[in-house]
Chains A and B, each alone.
Chain A
């Protein structure tokens, strides 16, 4: 014999509340660009997924430098959270810089996949185009590297401020870095048309 369970009204109320909160959490995570698996998991176990509400999902087709970018940005945020620089606020430009970095990295990923999918050929046109794309890719990767180095320098400057109380021209620095990223487009255009 199998008996069906009976639930108290309070249990129904709590279960309904849990499911509603889980659904809300899942919708928010999906809107922030997290994968479907994360949203589904949040539906059932939302208390575990709460920290993800403060983050955005990885862009689709992330490139080869995604982890380094994430680490550099996280380190910058941690530097800001250190005692001594608690009154220091990163400008909103940083979010723009980070999204530019991820976009440039995603394009690297696209190029990598293209290069990997091209079968070796001795046709002169294919060889020339492959070499051209390879050169453009290397130049773009070097620019991203330079921007990441700039982020590290910015972090060190913030440390200097904690030590010596110097003012840090963060806004100007971020503008420079974004300029470098914008240069990737021009550089690729030059290479591809040159």
Chain B
């Protein structure tokens, strides 16, 4: 077994993250140096495993691409938004040290990754029975939402108590982390590749996750205009205008053309 720290193996760390994450705290002391490498390894392995399952929808090299990208997407909110989240908690009256927040967030993400990996076999089974593309996307999102909600709950439970506006700080942090996660996922897409589409590690930058959600919302109401217009990048207009729109793939493997 790979050693997670001087005293704890990766398997022991997995058990404690899943069963009693608060036992990882040493009183008020945060053993960051002892735990962070092991927790990062857990996110890499479990997130990568979930990525392999997601990549199996398209198969081939997408197994590897998704396995590399998924842990990165899971880690992005921590790497980008942690100072902002700490500022929100301090504003909410929670006396929160940066090391305690980093520990709580890392344990939360590790737990979410492990749970997502645990859902992998069920998702794999679903993807192997000709699930159509949109349903496959929705299933992946649902799995990530369930794991993410549990991870966020774990993180909140590991933060120190007190704070007059604690609930507001939780909600604001959820929004900040959610926005970073969504945009990070958008930038690093595709994870599930349509059956006939070209596989790429990442797609060219086009608009952002919010304009995409808006376009999806309009198309769900029967208004299909605007996909090409929306795909013009906000900060690289010239290249965006040169970008060829992606050809619509032929329906295959239960894919519909809604």
Contacts and interface: CB of A to CB of B under 8 A. Distances in A.
Co-complex (A, B): yes
A48 B36 contact: yes
B217 interface: no
A44 B78 CA distance: 12
A35 interface: yes
A175 to B, nearest CB: 27
B248 interface: no
B204 interface: yes
B215 interface: no
19 contacts: A1-B198, A2-B198, A5-B200, A5-B201, A5-B203, A8-B205, A34-B33, A35-B6, A35-B33, A37-B37, A45-B40, A45-B75, A47-B79, A48-B82, A49-B36, A50-B98, A51-B30, A52-B99, A71-B26
A38 B37 contact: yes
Interface of A is mostly: helix
B258 interface: no
Contacts of A1: 198-199
Contacts of B102: 48, 50-51
Interface of A: 1-6, 8, 10-11, 34-35, 37-38, 40-41, 44-45, 47-52, 55, 57-58, 67, 70-71, 74, 78
Contacts of A5: 200-204
A186 B26 CA distance: 34
A49 B6 CA distance: 18
A75 to B, nearest CB: 9
Interface string B80-103: 101100000000000001110010
B175 to A, nearest CB: 20
A48 to B, nearest CB: 5
A41 B82 contact: no
A45 B79 contact: yes
Interface in B38-67: 40, 61
B200 A4 contact: yes
Nearest to B61: A2
Contacts of A49: 32, 36
Contact of A6 (B27, B79, B82, B204): B204
A52 B202 contact: no
B33 A55 contact: yes
Pick from A10, A49, A67 the residue with the most CB of B within 10 Å. A49
Given A41-B40, A44-B40, A74-B29, 15 more contacts: A2-B61, A4-B201, A8-B235, A11-B205, A38-B36, A45-B40, A45-B78, A47-B82, A48-B106, A49-B32, A50-B102, A51-B99, A52-B33, A52-B99, A55-B33
A3 B202 CA distance: 9
A64 to B, nearest CB: 12
Contact of B33 (A10, A38, A44): A38
A11 B6 CA distance: 37
Contacts of A8: 205, 235-236
A28 B29 CA distance: 22
A40 B40 CA distance: 11
Interface string B5-41: 1100000000000000000001111101100110010
A24 B102 CA distance: 19
A4 B20 CA distance: 43
B204 A48 contact: no
B26 A48 contact: no
Contacts of A11: 205
Contacts of A71: 26-27, 29
Nearest to A40: B37
Contact of B79 (A2, A48, A57, A78): A48
Contacts of A10: 235
A104 to B, nearest CB: 20
Contacts of B82: 47-48
Contacts of A45: 36, 40, 75, 78-79
B33 A47 contact: no
A51 B32 contact: yes
